[in-house]
Amino acid sequence: MTEKDAIDTIGLSRRTLLAGLGAVGVASAGAGLGTTAYFNDTESFEGNTLTAGQLDLLVDWQQTYDFGEGQTFVSAHPDHDGDGEQSILDPETEEVLRYSDFPDEEDEDSNGANIPVLDCETIPPTEEADFGIDPVTGEEMETLVQFTDVKPGDSGEITFSLHLCDNPGYIWMQAGNLTEDGGAHTEPESLVDADNLPDLADAIDAKLWYDEDCDNVHDGAEPVDIMLTLDFSGSMLYDQYGGVISDDDITVDGTTYGETTKIDLVELGTRQFVDYLQTQGADVQVGVAYFDGEGSDDSVPRTGILEPLTTNLSAVDTALSDLRQKLANVVSGGAGSTPFDGDGDPDPYSNANGIATGTYISEGLDDAQTELANNGRSNAEKRNIVLSDGESFNGDGSTQYAPPASAAADARAASPAPATDVYTINVNGSASVLQAMAGPAGGSGGDPVFFNDVDDPLNIPTVFGNLAAQTVAEKVIMEDSLGNVLDALADGNGIPLDGNRSTIYDEFADPADDADREAFRGDGVMHCIALSWELPFDVGNEIQGDTLGFDLGFYTEQERHNDGSGPDIAA
């Protein structure tokens, strides 16, 4: 079977949900959401059987509409009670979880956030979607967008969240079946539009963007102080403790190693993170803290500051270079060795007996918090991004230290000041410990919005990329008339989406197979794409009665054996 034979490009003409965007006066049309493209391409051995691999893209959404009375929930998927607001029954606790339970506390205009616990197990098929009630007419909507009395000043927005189950893949957003009609030719319209031309698509303003926090609001940039708090324990580097994850070569900062370790991927991800912030001109200070355990020749936790908070992001990038050696200096150097002593053995296959025991996550977090307190800016939001692959414990020393959840609770609660958002990244370590730490400033721990569970260490750079994208203004893919946005989505294969926004990729100027365009992770991680529209107050009578119809869809193909260039012809 060839690669092309394996691709099932289910087009927008099949498995498509029709919906409509109306016009001034009584009018209706067809517009909609295409679901996904499903195909399998690889096979894997399990015992003596052949099991086909899977590529399954699931979509959920929250739609709002403002007809002069503020944003109103219109339709969502899933929506267990059909009230237009995204909601589910937690399968374990039977607690009702709602979209509005997850607001962006720093954004007064935020409506909430797509339910973060939605995953490949809890998202029902799109065919089961309830499209809600038209808030103006009170009529049941049979399709995703079906507004039949749109007036100047009205606006709406849909945030779609995409979840690739199983394998990673490239994703395109597409449109098709664009239809426009002049509709009813009223007397006021005839005076300014004698030919009754369709003008609605060009009259509506639209914006398409990556809604990083999935809250239906385009977020601008705010000043932020960030500490990257990194696990420097032996299991991040030495094969003896699981540090080597692959025999594949990896090139880091111009140096090619014959194997890939966790710390290599951390270096790639964090330097990508810093480079993106620098490229975007972000108003940030960034610092780096590290934590290990305690060596056999001392009982002092090996934690500290690799780079103090600074606006000089080039200095941060330098501090994050050659992390193999810097980690080795800490864990296999002499007593009291620092990351810069150069006395450690960075060979991941060297004998690592006798290196530090324990993983002092809480001490590393405390060091980072102290740095934020001493050198943070009064007008800046505070963030601490903690990555670990281990379960925190004290090692063999006699001194007992606070558990990580307690240290994180102090950081979130400003004890000591300042109150800090705590983001955590678990790399095949103790998920429960790191999830309990994660949460917003002033809030409780265990918040899934702030927790990243990485099953495959190869996804570490992508996680840092997503966090970088949440630090700056959310990336706008296109801002134009709705007609032009739909034309772009309908052109060729549609608009290629980037699974890692910290890699500088231009969806229009760069080819779909550009090296900076990355596939979306294949472990169900939520990525959100938003489309907003507004009919301006100053629009004229020429649009009265006009109708507009279109299909929307998302197409995916697996990353493996594909380069992201897409099918030759989009269905």
CATH code of the domain covering residue 352:
3.40.50.410
Quote the CA–CA distance of 18 and 29 in Å, as a whole number: 9
Quote the CA–CA distance of 95 and 443 in Å, as a whole number: 20
Higher per-residue pLDDT: 258 or 5: 258
Residues 128 and 231 in one domain: no
Our CA dihedral for 454, 460, 462, 466, rounded to 10 degrees, sits at 80
Residues 142 and 267 in one domain: no
Task: Give the residue from 204, 126, 104, 114 showing the smallest Cα distance to 160.
Answer: 114
How many domains, in total, are found in the chain? 2
By CB neighbour count within 10 A (0-12 exposed, 13-18 middle, 19+ buried), where does 1 fall?
A: exposed
Convert the pLDDT of each residue in 110-153 to its tens digit.
778 888 888 888 888 888 888 887 777 788 877 777 666 678 88
Residues 408 and 489 in one domain: no
Convert the pLDDT of each residue in 62-110 to its tens digit.
999 888 778 888 889 999 998 999 999 887 788 898 998 877 666 666 7
Q: At residue 258, does pLDDT exceed 60?
A: yes
Last residue of a domain, one of 449, 470, 491: 470
Beta strands in 224-275 (DSSP E): 224-231, 244-246, 250-252, 255-257, 260-261
Residue 14 lies in a domain: no
Quote the CA–CA distance of 139 and 132 in Å, as a whole number: 9
> Which helix (H) or strand (E) is 190 found in, with range?
helix 187-192
Determine contact, residues 164/556, Cβ cutoff 8 Å.
Answer: yes
Residue 513 lies in a domain: yes
Residue 181 to residues 23, 195, 548, Cα–Cα distance (Å): 10, 11, 7
Residues 512 and 466 in one domain: no
Residue 267 lies in a domain: yes
Residues 459 and 478 in one domain: no
Convert the pLDDT of each residue in 362-416 to its tens digit.
999 999 999 999 999 999 999 999 999 977 765 555 666 778 999 999 999 987 7
The residue segments making up the domain with residue 107 are 57-219+474-558
pTM of the model: 0.75
Beta strands in 232-346 (DSSP E): 244-246, 250-252, 255-257, 260-261, 284-291, 303-310
Tokens of 274: 């810093």
Quote the CA–CA distance of 381 and 418 in Å, as a whole number: 9
